[in-house]
Amino acid sequence: MSENSQIFIAKTAIKAADLEHRRKINFNISKYNEKVPEGKQQFADVHLVRERAKNIKWKAIETLDQQLEEFELNFTKKGGKVIWAEDAAQAIEEIVSICKERNCRTLVKSKSMVTEEIHLNDALEKNGIESIETDLGEYIQQLDGEAPYHIVTPAMHKSKEDVARLFSQKLGTAPNLTPQELTLVARDVLRKKYTQAEVGVTGANFIISDIGGIAVTENEGNARLSCSFPKTHIVIVGIEKMIPSITDLGLFWPLLSTFGTGQKVTVYNTIVTGPKQANEVDGPEEMFVILLDNGRTNILQNPKTRESLYCIRCGACLNACPIYKNVGGHAYGATYSGPIGSVITPHLSGMENYKHLSYASSLCGNCTEVCAVKINLHELLLENRKESVEEGYTTLTEKMAWKMWKIASLKRGMMNMGSGNLKNKVVNGLFKGWKKHRSDLDFSPKTFNEMWKDMYNKK
């Protein structure tokens, strides 16, 4: 068992027993569950919308090489610069070098899971650059020294009282401020930072190849401020965020907001196609887009798991997952949690160390049911399990156990041997590791064969 797997089991055991944690997360998810059905009413046929979105993403991913080149061509025409980063280290090197060349001391950052993936804040801090999270949820998490808990709502596991306490400890405010007052405190701190920062970093929800632009969706306006106040704007985005045309946003914007938060459309949707032009008064003087691979082409080259690249990071599968709702986002020990995280993390960060996430599922299929772009998530989890076995990441005990199971299952005589009680004793004694986090295996007193015979004889 890998170290990550042991940590995962230890963390999940603690979280699953933490009823206060469960109360908070279920309270926040229940708000989401109230809003989403209302948002879905805007679509005459929500299944058709999801199907169309899946088809568009299929096209984008199947032609990703051409789409990326088309994006680069169109984006550079407007004066933007494209940087291709194979992995996290390359992306960090590029960002740090851009910052150093511009003598950057303060950098403002909008919410971006890719920057979490490459651990950008740690790298900037090591280089003496202050990086400020400007999304309120991310700002709360940064103050608390914690990674985001959820891909859409980073501080989902905190109550308003937790946040008031945190602000009081870190910023010296009164310990009983209301959410409105807390927001004003954060606003006051952050507004000053936009004007000080030399560089702004954002992610992108979509890369749009036909216009050479990126689209950012947010509710607070902080991403818009982060990309327009500082003189330099850096976008870092995973290559899979591609959509072929600006017209596709008519479908993806409402889809993302409805499945993400239940809104009909998110408050701020911004398309950026380059730095400030000669006839414009506002905007950054220069703009870079870093196209990050970091394991995505591993997924791309596998025709079965490729589908996971359609993900638009709406977070719906996390909110629907019985595992996520019990163990929460941090237990996964990975940037991307929940069902989609369990599907992609073994490919992004290594099957050997993360294959256990593919088993963090009841395979109920609820994730597939709610996915905005109809990714067959639970089947991909099974696919990961299969791959991990094929790649040899199985213990000898597990291999032996399944071998014995197979031999017994294929021989009727062996299946009929011994009573249910005897089988319980033998099997539960042998599979002690299996039983550690599960209830005992309980054999039926009679085998299927015996029950069938009884039924036949009664007739």
Binding positions for ligand SF4, rule: CB under 6 A: 259, 311-317, 340, 370-373, 375, 377
**Least Å from the CB of residue 116 to ligand SF4:** 15
**Least Å from the CB of residue 243 to ligand SF4:** 13
| φ, ψ dihedrals at 215, nearest 5° | -120, 135
**Least Å from the CB of residue 408 to ligand SF4:** 38
d(CA 38, CA 13): 35
Are 321 and 362 spatial neighbours (Cβ–Cβ below 8 Å)?
A: no
Nearer to ligand SF4, 132 or 371 (CB): 371
**Least Å from the CB of residue 136 to ligand SF4:** 21
Amino acid symbol at 134: T
Nearer to ligand SF4, 75 or 253 (CB): 253
3-state secondary structure of 279: coil
Element (H, E) at 199: strand 199-202
Nearer to ligand SF4, 287 or 318 (CB): 318
Amino acid symbol at 309: L
Element (H, E) at 268: strand 268-272
Distance, C-alpha 40 to centroid of its chain = 22
Number of continuous H segments (helices) and E segments (strands) in the chain: 24, 10
**Least Å from the CB of residue 265 to ligand SF4:** 17
Nearer to ligand SF4, 25 or 371 (CB): 371
Nearer to ligand SF4, 155 or 320 (CB): 320
d(CA 422, CA 432): 16
**Least Å from the CB of residue 256 to ligand SF4:** 8
**Least Å from the CB of residue 139 to ligand SF4:** 23
Query: Which residue, 99, 75, 117, is CA-closest to 237?
Result: 117
Taking each helix axis from N to C end, the angle separating 46-62 and 64-77, rounded to the nearest 10 degrees, works out to 80
Nearer to ligand SF4, 106 or 349 (CB): 349
Residue 149 is given by DSSP the state: S
Amino acid symbol at 227: C
Pairing of strands 206-208, 106-109: unpaired
Query: Side by side, which strands form the sheet with 130-133?
Result: 81-85, 286-292, 232-238, 199-202, 106-109, 130-133
**Least Å from the CB of residue 345 to ligand SF4:** 13
Nearer to ligand SF4, 72 or 248 (CB): 248
Nearer to ligand SF4, 292 or 317 (CB): 317
**Least Å from the CB of residue 285 to ligand SF4:** 35
Nearer to ligand SF4, 163 or 242 (CB): 242
Query: Which residue, 99, 38, 427, 44, is CA-closest to 236?
Result: 99
